[in-house]
Amino acid sequence: MKRMLWLTKIVSLVEAVKKFMFEFGLIAQCVDKDSELADVEAVSAGNNYELGNMIAEAMAKVGCKGVVTL
């Protein structure tokens, strides 16, 4: 019985994630310019534009599929 309960909860969670990803895709915006990326990174860094620029430079070096670790 507990396995069925867990399975039901997992299926519900998967459905919720799918719905979230669909809704998120509707409002997502592409960031094309390095200056736009720096602005997004600065906001993510608590409005620290110096740190935002550093992160944007690192992202430019590794590319859109790369990973930057702080």
Residue 14 confidence class, pLDDT cut points 50, 70, 90: very high
Q: What is the secondary structure of 5-67 as a DSSP string?
A: HHHHHHHHHHHHHHHHHHHHHHH-----SHHHHHHHHHHHTTS-HHHHHHHHHHHHHH-TT--
Domain residues for the domain of 11 are: 1-30
**Are residues 52 and 65 located together in one domain of the fold?**
yes
pLDDT of residue 40: 87
Confidence of residue 65 (pLDDT cuts 50, 70, 90): confident
For 23-63, how does the pLDDT look when each residue is reduced to its tens digit (9 = 90+)?
999 998 888 787 888 888 889 889 998 988 888 889 889 98
- Based on the structure, what is the number of domains in the chain? 2
For residues 35 and 69, membership in a common domain is answered with yes
